[in-house]
Amino acid sequence: MMSLIAAIAVVLADQTTKLAIVSTFARGEQTDILGAFFRLGHARNSGAVFGIMRGLGRYFTVFSIVAAAVIIVVIFLARQAQRRVRVGLGLVLGGALGNLIDRLHYGAVIDFIDIGANDAVRWPSFNIADLAITVGVALLVVSSFKPGTQHCQDDSQGNIF
């Protein structure tokens, strides 16, 4: 249930903000919020998260559908997992679904958050779905390190493996 709530919250927040952006900004238009550091604008991304591999939108549509199906199965199998695992899976699912909706509706993902130091040093534009995927994966990675579990061993000669 926790995963489902997280996924629904992400999809609603993601799609609501994207609708506001599309109805407020023309494609390519942006405005400074905190000077050049934080801007909002309307960009379209036919590639993967943070704009990598542009132009492969069809493949990412198929990948998103398959990924969402796999995540749903994993969520079902992880019903008894730690809360942060379930939330992490829900965030990843919600982000994948949010961007999939864009790909199906617009043919590309709507990105609108733009941060950087100046015009020369900018992080690729992103959206709430991208942020949720990133945070969800981080939660899953953190959850893989259980307290008290030794992940490497030190032998008597000082070699760590």
pLDDT in tens, 15-72: 999 999 999 999 999 998 998 889 999 999 876 655 556 666 677 788 889 989 999 9
What Cα–Cα distance (Å) separates residue 89 from each residue in 61, 95, 130? 19, 10, 14
| pTM of this structure | 0.82
- Tell me whether residue 111 is one of the annotated catalytic residues: yes
pLDDT at 87 over 70: yes
- Measured distance CA(161)–CA(125) in Å, rounded: 39
Phi-psi region of 66 (alpha: psi -120 to 50; beta: other; left: phi over 0): alpha
At residue 17's C-alpha, the angle toward residues 15 and 22, to 5°, is 90
- pLDDT for 57 equals 63
pLDDT tier at 84, thresholds 50, 70, 90: confident
Higher model confidence: residue 74 or residue 78?
74
Angle at 38 between CA 32 and CA 44, to 5 degrees: 85
Of the residues 14, 102, 114, 130, which is catalytic? 130
User: What is the number of residues in the chain?
Assistant: 161
Strand extents, DSSP E, 5-98: 30-34, 38-45
Catalytic member of 14, 102, 111, 114: 111
What's the whole-number mean pLDDT along residues 86-111?
94
